[in-house]
Amino acid sequence: MTLDQATIDRLAAKPVPPQRLLIGGNWVEGEGEPVPVISPINGARLTELAGASAADVARACAVARAAFDDGRWAGLAPADRKRVLHRLADLIEAHAVELAVLGVRDNGTEISMALKAEPGSAAATFRYYAEAIDKVYGEVAPTAGNVLALIHREPVGVVGAIVPWNFPLMIGAWKVAPALAMGNSVVLKPAETASLTLLRLAELALEAGVPPGVFNVVTGQGRVTGEALALSPDVDVLVFTGSGATGRRLLEYSARSNLKRCYLELGGKSPNIVFADAPDLAAAAKAAAMAIFRNAGQVCVAGSRLLVEASVQEDFLEALAKATAALRVGNPLDLGTQVGAVNSLAQLEGNLRFVAESRAEGAEVVRGGARILTETGGYYMDPAIVARVAPSQRLFREEVFGPVLAVTAFETEAEALHLANATDYGLAAGVWTANLGRAHRMVRGIRAGVVHVNTYGGADVTVPLAGAKQSGNGADKSLHALEKYTDLKTAWIQL
């Protein structure tokens, strides 16, 4: 997959027609209010989504249930499902540039990152779980006497998936691919501000041979479409990536309906910890800038809290500010752009409020923190570095989900560990040190699902992403993700 500016510009000039819902293999109009799609690149209307009403969602869930019950997908031989998912991965790769450009127009991720992170990652994810289909199976238990105890793995039934706007195709694949691989039916609800690539994925899934009714997509407002999906008695498992507030509501909806299992990835306030003995402080400064500012800070695992040993804080801040100033913020469809657009005007305004509040509380805004490129009509922010942020301040404790970095100094390893764990979140972390013993102590001591050492970011579908504390439960990626989409059944057979 390669990019050239002329191809990007040609694809970006294509009009995007109004979108519809996919229910039972048919593209249908929604009964709810259409949702305008505003591009963060220029603030202009790009197209509109169909608004799925509660009745639309009920139909999608009923269709998914019927498709599961009649075995059109779950009843296929594992090798047959495997072939279909491999064809889907092939189609994603064949349309990768188209998908990447469409996604950037929708959510503002810089194109140089989007190609790999969205269609590239999605294709790899579908291939990984396609290969797992015929390699994950049941067990024979070591029982005593004349008993044969078999442990079967069975699909759960209907999976409802609600995915966010920052990396919709990547995160959507993390949910949809393992669910389909295990034989489930899926009803997918994308985010209002980033649905287009997932609707295109659904088209490709039909083309690849996923039977009608097995993969359905309903778009619309969370308070209508998402709520109806979470309340549906036809949904057996609900998977979600997004905010803690929405995650809490989904748990309530589960309790009010059929006690469906809910697996939630709820973001983080991840510490990136730099000790004075880091192997290369200049390299650490550049990595720290990208750990928070890529995709305009709209990354679940972003290193949004920088904890720096006090003896090197001033030098490190200088290097960090220099690395940040060198980043090119602009049109995310430009290959030279390193930091794209903020997803929406509401998100941008929230980011700016965090900076203003921190300044009023006595923190030092080292650089950035203002809206820029207003002449474009788009939603762009100068990456902000806010130093001397106290643990009591909201910027230290709460997720911004924007290009705003909170910097706090520490004196000792014990203090660094205490500060790292001093939030309600536990999704990711980074540690920079040349001391192997310290690195291991920090990995053990930090309560987070992933801890990077002398790097930040980078992962693979073979390893799980799982949160601790209020960052959620369950795991995306790796074979461990399959546990969310299968039930265990024991056969106890007297011989």
For every one of its 495 residues, what pLDDT tens digit does the chain have, with 9 covering 90 and above? Answer: 678 999 999 999 999 999 999 999 999 999 999 999 999 999 999 999 999 999 999 999 999 999 999 999 999 999 999 999 999 999 999 999 999 999 999 999 999 999 999 999 999 999 999 999 999 999 999 998 899 999 999 999 999 999 999 999 999 999 999 999 999 999 999 999 999 999 999 999 999 999 999 999 999 999 999 999 999 999 999 999 999 999 999 999 999 999 999 999 998 999 999 999 999 999 999 999 999 999 999 999 999 999 999 999 999 999 999 999 999 999 999 999 999 999 999 999 999 999 999 999 999 999 999 999 999 999 999 999 999 999 999 999 999 999 999 999 999 999 999 999 999 999 999 999 999 999 999 999 999 999 999 999 988 999 999 999 999 999 999 999 999 999 999 999 999
- Same domain membership, residue 277 and residue 262: no
- 375 is known as an active-site residue: no
- Same domain membership, residue 411 and residue 335: yes
CATH of the domain at 158: 3.40.605.10
Question: Concatenated DSSP letters for 284-353?
Answer: HHHHHHHHHHGGGG--TT---EEEEEGGGHHHHHHHHHHHHHTS-BS-TTSTT-SB---S-HHHHHHHHH
- Same domain membership, residue 132 and residue 37: yes
Domain that holds residue 303: 271-459
Q: How many domains does the chain have?
A: 2
- Same domain membership, residue 224 and residue 355: no
- Same domain membership, residue 311 and residue 371: yes
Question: Catalytic pick from 227, 265, 309, 399?
Answer: 265
- Same domain membership, residue 214 and residue 300: no
Let me know if residue 466 belongs to a domain. Answer: no
Q: Distance of CA 43 to CAs 105, 109, 380, Å?
A: 11, 15, 11
Helix axes of 121-132 and 78-94: crossing angle, nearest 10 degrees: 170
Let me know if residue 85 belongs to a domain. Answer: yes
Angle subtended at Cα 173 by Cα 75 and Cα 255, rounded to the nearest 5 degrees: 75
Let me know if residue 384 belongs to a domain. Answer: yes
For 403, the token pair is 């290009």
Let me know if residue 204 belongs to a domain. Answer: yes
Let me know if residue 16 belongs to a domain. Answer: yes
Report how far residue 465's alpha carbon sits from residue 463's, in angstroms, rounded to the nearest whole number: 7
- Same domain membership, residue 306 and residue 179: no
- Side-chain half-sphere of 1: how many Cα atoms within 13 Å? 26
Q: Among 209, 264, 261, which Cα is nearest to 237's?
A: 261
- Same domain membership, residue 252 and residue 287: no
110 CB-near residues (< 8 Å, 6+ apart): 104, 294, 295, 332, 337, 338, 339, 340
- Residues 168, 190 contacting (CB under 8 angstroms): yes
Q: Count the residues in the chain.
A: 495
- DSSP assigned state of 197: H
456 CB-near residues (< 8 Å, 6+ apart): 272, 287, 288, 290, 291, 303, 430
Judging by DSSP bridges, how do beta strands 380-381 and 486-494 pair with one another? unpaired
- Same domain membership, residue 158 and residue 42: yes
- Same domain membership, residue 136 and residue 246: yes
- Same domain membership, residue 348 and residue 281: yes
- Same domain membership, residue 316 and residue 204: no
Let me know if residue 464 belongs to a domain. Answer: no
CATH of the domain at 394: 3.40.309.10
Report how far residue 45's alpha carbon sits from residue 419's, in angstroms, rounded to the nearest whole number: 43
Report how far residue 353's alpha carbon sits from residue 124's, in angstroms, rounded to the nearest whole number: 38
Q: For the whole prediction, is pTM greater than 0.85?
A: yes
- DSSP assigned state of 194: B
How many CB atoms neighbour CB 230 within 10 A? 26
